[in-house]
Amino acid sequence: MGNPLIWIAALCAATGAVQAADVYPVRPIRMIVAYPPGGGTDQVGRVMADQLTQQLGQNVVVDNRGGATGNIGTELAARAVPDGYTLLMGNVAPNAVNVSLFKKLGFDPVGDFSPVSLVAITPNILVAHPSLQVKTVRELLALAKARPGTLNFPSAGVGSSSHLAGELLKSLAKIDMVHVPFKGGGPALVAMISGEVQIMFATMPAAMPHVKSGKARAIAVTTAKRSQAMPELPTIAEAGVTGYEASTWYGLLAPAKTPKPVIDRIHAETVKILAGPARQRLEVQGFEPIGGTPAEFSAYIKSEILKWAKVIRDANIPAE
C-alpha cells in the first residue's frame, strides 16, 4: 500500500478540491482578455462575463491586457494561480497560431492551460471589389491561375487571421496571390473597397455593411459550414477547395492544474449560457456559438496548432 501518511494526505487534498468546487465561487473571478476593449475577443468575453456573473452569483470582471498579438495577457493567465478565480477568453492567435510565429513565447498554449469550452467562432467572408469580374470561388481560382501573381489580398498584418486565410487558400488551391499587410483590419478593408487590392478575407461584422451597400461582392465564407447570417453563401470547401476551413475562434480556458470539478462547473454554466438568450446576443454581433466539451476544445486547439504551423511553413512566414 506504500506510506499510509502519503495516501491520507492525497485523499485529504482530493476531498478539499471537491469541497472547494462545491462552494465555488466565493469571491469575484477575473476573466483576462488579451486584447484591448472593443474587438471580437472582448465582445465575446463581456457577454460571457455578464452571464457567468448572473449564474455563479459572483462578479466576473473582464481584465483587458492587450499587446504583442495577445501574448501578454495570455502569459499572465498562464501564470495565474490555478484556483478557478482567473479565466482566459482565448483566441486562435495566441492559443494556436503564435507558437509558430514567435521564436519565444512566455507560455505553452497546450501545457499551460486547461480548456473549458470553445465558445464561438466568427466566419470570415471572401469578398471582392465589384470591378473584379468574378462571382464564384471557381472563377476566382481560374483567374488566379491564368494571371499568377497579379491578384492582391490585404490583411490586418502578418500572421493575422485575414493573412493566414489567404495563405491557406494559396496552399490548398495551388495558386499565386500577393499578400499586402496593413496595420489593422480597418485600413485593409478600406484598401479593398477603394480598389487598391482586389479581394479580402474580411470578418463578417466588418464586411456585411459594404456587401449590402454594393461596395464589396461576397463570394464565400471561410468556415466549414455555411453561416447562419448569410446562408446563401457557399463555403470555400464546398465551392471546390476540399479541406478549406479558417475561422477566428474564441474559447474559455483556465490555468493548467485548475481542479477538474471547477472546470466542469464553468463548462456546465457555459453550455447553459450558449443555449439561452446570450446565444442571440452573440449571433446578432456576427458570432456563431459552439459550447463543446473540454476534451473537444483541447483536441481542436491541438489540431489548429498543427494546421497553422504547416500554413506558416509553406508560406515562409518568418518567426519574430
Whether 238 is in a domain gets the answer no
Task: For residue range 291-308, list pLDDT tens digits in order.
Answer: 999 999 999 999 999 999
Q: Judge if 100 and 172 occupy the same domain.
A: no
Helix segments in 219-293, DSSP class H: 260-274, 277-284
Q: Judge if 127 and 107 occupy the same domain.
A: no
Q: Judge if 154 and 199 occupy the same domain.
A: yes
Q: Judge if 115 and 52 occupy the same domain.
A: yes
Q: Determine the Cα–Cα distance for residues 146 and 246; give it in Å rounded to an integer.
A: 25
- DSSP-assigned letters across all residues of 47-113: HHHHHHHHHHSS-EEEEE---GGGHHHHHHHHTS-SSSSEEEEEEHIIIIIHHHH-S--SS-TTTTE
Give the list of residues 6+ apart from residue 53 with CB closer than 8 angstroms, or none.
59, 60
At residue 8 the predicted structure's pLDDT band, cuts being 50, 70 and 90, is very low
Per-residue pLDDT for 15 more than 70?
no
Cβ pair 116, 252 in contact under 8 A: yes
Cβ pair 45, 65 in contact under 8 A: no
Whether 11 is in a domain gets the answer no
Whether 237 is in a domain gets the answer no
Predicted pLDDT of residue 20 = 52
Residue type, 117: S
Whether 213 is in a domain gets the answer yes
Residue type, 75: E
Q: At what angle do helices 161-173 and 294-314 cross, to 10 degrees?
A: 70
Q: Judge if 71 and 94 occupy the same domain.
A: yes
Structure-block grid coordinates of residue 181: 499587410
Q: Judge if 127 and 104 occupy the same domain.
A: no
Q: What is the CATH number of the domain that holds 70?
A: 3.40.190.150
Q: Which residue has the cell 439561452?
A: 276
Predicted pLDDT of residue 21 = 57
Whether 298 is in a domain gets the answer yes
Q: Is the bond into 25 cis (omega within 30 degrees of 0)?
A: yes
Q: What is the mean pLDDT of the chain?
A: 90
Cα distances from 123 to residues 45, 82, 245, 253, 289, in angstroms, run: 18, 32, 10, 21, 11
Task: For residue range 239-293, list pLDDT tens digits in order.
Answer: 889 999 998 899 999 999 999 999 999 999 999 999 999 999 998 887 899 999 9
Q: Judge if 131 and 210 occupy the same domain.
A: yes
Predicted pLDDT of residue 198 = 95
Q: For residue 155, what are the domain limits?
A: 123-221
Q: Determine the Cα–Cα distance for residues 3 and 112; give it in Å rounded to an integer.
A: 31
The number of distinct structural domains making up the chain is 2
Q: Judge if 78 and 147 occupy the same domain.
A: no
Task: For residue range 143-161, list pLDDT tens digits in order.
Answer: 999 999 999 999 888 888 8
For strands 152-155 and 86-91, give the pairing. Answer: unpaired
